[in-house]
Amino acid sequence: MTDNQILLKFPCDFPIKAMGKSAVDFDALVVEIVRKHCPDLLEGAVKSRLSKAGNYISVTVTIQARSRSQLDNIYMDLTAHEKVLMAL
């Protein structure tokens, strides 16, 4: 096994964090993108947090991940969106 390989046992709870400029609809945008790949998103799975100055927002969505490809597709869609500055 190499250092780049991460062992995940699916299904598992997996937090996905997206950051962008503070906007009223940013959390809804992130949820919409994630929901394309995880339609069974649970209530309470989304948490938002503003930066200290209020200029940026981070949205964490905890999903029940089913596969590595599902996670890869979520990250590709998030980072491809112009309003998402970073996804972790």
Q: What is the mean pLDDT of residues 25-47?
A: 95
Edge-to-edge strand list for the sheet holding 84-87 = 46-50, 56-65, 12-21, 84-87
Instruction: Give yes or no for residue 2 having a pLDDT over 90.
Output: no
Tokens of 78: 């998030």
Fold entry, domain 12-87: Alpha-Beta Plaits (3.30.70)
What are the contacts of 68-74 at 24+ separation with CB within 8 A? 68/8, 68/10, 70/37, 70/38, 71/14, 71/16, 73/37, 74/16, 74/33, 74/34, 74/37, 74/38
pLDDT of the residue at 8: 86
Given this model, what pLDDT does residue 63 score? 97
Whether residue 6 is predicted with pLDDT greater than 80 in this model: the reply is: no
Query: What is the model's pLDDT at position 18?
Result: 98
- Predicted TM-score (pTM) of the model is 0.90
